[in-house]
């Protein structure tokens, strides 16, 4: 088994930076506050149009034609429509299964958000709040959502697996990302007490999630656990007999995070980091558990021409409005091709990958703040020759 996949990010779980126009007329920075600043009618209409048009059958046909085999679909905790004012979206996941099965693709369902958030990121649903694991009621709510998803898609040939929770943060990533300052909360009172999850909690949660999901999976379907940004800390846990041949470890590796860890912002520095850090770590862990890189891309500050300070955008308060293209199209192509080839070689040491993400709705030509961010868009990377055919 070797997975060649892509994420369908910003479809059923919104991320403002990936399509800022969805947040027009509001000051909301995340999905939690969007419906609080729009009328019910405007919010519902905006979501209906977005979900109906952002990803369609045509996209599944394109993904298959590129040679990819899997899609990872982030879904929200309110997918079943039982957490107003948020609108459920289970019918779109149903459509995705029909499309995937028509075009021979497999789906990894990724529960991307949790009530009160599991990481405090904008992609966790609410910025600056990380209190989900402190609420037994909300933990149980998430377990019920996972079980309902497993039951709903039991027996579907398009199902590859289910990820119980995306990017639950722990130390030291909480400090590295400086979550409280990078993702400032709107409501300090709501955010009070926010803290990273503990490995002890996550291990207990993962055991419970596995027990709810695994009975509904076929032999070639899996529970895919995110590593909580601690790739090498799961050997004793995931090699238990209970998880044997049914578990996969998911790790997310971005050059913007490597930059935060001190990786030089130049092409040779990136390649060296990929070969000496990522490739070796993946190979080491693959010895005892299948490893999939659930998120990665060729985005880097060098090609942007500005230090993005760990991948921060103008939405984080940085000003890139004076930025200009630092390289010619051919130079950019060389940079991205070199990074893509080195990274894909590194992933060969594991069980596969999912690129983040399939598409974005950004104007990287007319808006200087977004120069370089098109490298997150696999469709565009492929069309421009930045990403090799698979």
Burial of 203 (0-12, 13-18, 19+ CB in 10 A): middle
Average pLDDT over residues 316-333: 89
- At residue 272, the pLDDT reads 98
370-382 pLDDT tens trace: 999 999 999 999 9
Minimal CA–CA distance to 363: which of 374, 354, 352, 353? 374
Domains and CATH numbers, the chain: 3-383 (3.20.20.80)
Tokens 């470890």 -> residue: 249
Confidence of residue 388 (pLDDT cuts 50, 70, 90): confident
Give 218's pLDDT tier (boundaries 50, 70, 90): very high
Average pLDDT of the residues in 57-83 = 98
Q: Is the pLDDT of residue 314 over 90?
A: no
Instruction: Say if residue 334 is exposed, middle or buried (CB neighbours under 10 Å; 0-12, 13-18, 19+).
Output: middle
Q: For 177-211, how does the pLDDT look when each residue is reduced to its tens digit (9 = 90+)?
A: 899 999 999 999 999 999 999 999 999 999 999 99
The DSSP secondary-structure symbol of 368 reads G
Percent of the chain with pLDDT over 90: 91
**Per-position DSSP letters for 281-324, written without gaps between them:** HHHHHHTTS-EEEEE--S--HHHHTS--TTT--GGGT---TT--
pLDDT > 80? residue 115: yes
- Rounded-to-integer distance, Cα 29 and Cα 16, Å: 6
In the DSSP assignment, the letter for residue 177 is T
Question: Which residue would you say has higher pLDDT here, 321 or 278?
Answer: 278
pLDDT at 390 exceeding the cut of 80: no
Q: Which residues pair with 6 in a beta bridge?
A: 71, 355
- Give the mean pLDDT of 73-102: 98
Which of 210, 226, 119, 246 minimizes the C-alpha distance to 170?
119
Q: Which helix (H) or strand (E) holds 205?
A: helix 199-213
The 10s digit of each residue's pLDDT in 121-174 is 999 999 999 999 999 999 999 999 999 999 999 999 999 999 999 999 999 999
Report residue 225: phi and psi, to 5°.
Answer: -95, 125
Q: pLDDT confidence of 4, banded at 50, 70, 90? A: very high
How far is the C-alpha of 208 from the C-alpha of 219, rounded, in Å? 19
The pLDDT score that the predictor gives to residue 106 is 98
Residue with tokens 């949790």: 114
Alpha-carbon dihedral of residues 72, 153, 118, 87, nearest 10 degrees? 100
Average pLDDT, the chain: 96
d(CA 172, CA 163): 22
Question: What pLDDT sits at residue 326?
Answer: 87
In angstroms, the CA 359 to CA 377 distance is: 5
Give the pLDDT band (50/70/90) at residue 244.
confident
Asked whether the predicted pLDDT for residue 389 surpasses 80, the reply is no
Write out pLDDT tens, residues 257-298: 999 999 999 999 999 999 999 999 999 999 999 999 999 999
**CA of 222: how far to CAs of 136, 233, 258, in Å?**
25, 20, 29
Which DSSP category does 110 fall into? E
Q: Please tell me the predicted confidence (pLDDT) of residue 321.
A: 84
Q: What is the pTM of this model?
A: 0.97
Mean per-residue pLDDT for 382-388?
Answer: 94
pLDDT, position 179: 93
């Amino acid at each position: 088994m070797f997975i060649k996949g892509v994420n369908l990010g910003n479809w059923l779980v919104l991320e403002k930076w990936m399509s800022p126009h969805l947040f027009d007329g509001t000051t909301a920075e995340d999905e939690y506050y969007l419906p609080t600043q729009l009328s019910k009618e405007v919010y519902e209409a905006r979501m209906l149009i977005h979900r109906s048009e952002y990803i369609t059958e045509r996209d599944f046909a394109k993904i298959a034609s590129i040679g990819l085999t899997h899609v990872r679909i982030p879904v929200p905790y309110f997918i079943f429509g039982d957490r107003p004012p948020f609108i459920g979206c289970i019918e779109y996941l149903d459509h995705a299964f029909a499309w995937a099965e028509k075009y021979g693709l497999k789906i990894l369902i990724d529960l991307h958000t949790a009530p009160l958030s599991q990481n405090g990121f904008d992609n966790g649903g609410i910025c600056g709040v990380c209190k989900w694991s402190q609420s037994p009621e909300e933990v149980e709510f998430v377990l019920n959502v996972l079980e309902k998803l497993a039951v709903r898609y039991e027996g579907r040939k398009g199902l590859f697996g289910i990820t119980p929770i995306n990017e639950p943060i722990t130390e030291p990533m909480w400090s590295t990302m400086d979550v409280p300052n990078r993702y400032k909360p709107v409501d300090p009172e709501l955010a009070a007490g926010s803290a990273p999850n503990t490995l002890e909690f996550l291990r207990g949660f993962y055991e419970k999630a596995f027990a709810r999901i695994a009975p509904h999976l076929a032999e070639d379907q899996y529970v895919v656990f995110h590593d909580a940004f601690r790739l090498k800390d799961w050997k004793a846990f995931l090699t238990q007999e209970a998880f044997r041949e049914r578990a996969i470890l998911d790790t997310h590796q971005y050059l913007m995070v490597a930059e935060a860890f001190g990786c030089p912002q130049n092409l040779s520095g990136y390649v060296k980091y990929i070969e000496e850090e990522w490739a070796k770590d993946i190979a080491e862990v693959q010895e005892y558990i299948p490893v999939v890189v659930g998120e990665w891309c060729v985005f880097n500050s060098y090609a942007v021409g500005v230090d993005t300070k760990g991948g921060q955008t103008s939405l984080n308060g940085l000003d890139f409005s004076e930025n200009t293209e630092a390289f010619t199209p051919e130079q950019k192509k060389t940079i991205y091709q070199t990074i893509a080839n080195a990274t894909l070689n590194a992933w060969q040491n594991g069980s596969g990958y999912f690129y983040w993400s399939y598409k974005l709705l950004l104007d990287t030509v007319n808006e200087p703040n977004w120069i370089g961010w098109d490298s997150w868009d696999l469709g565009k990377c492929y069309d421009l020759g930045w990403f090799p055919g698979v």
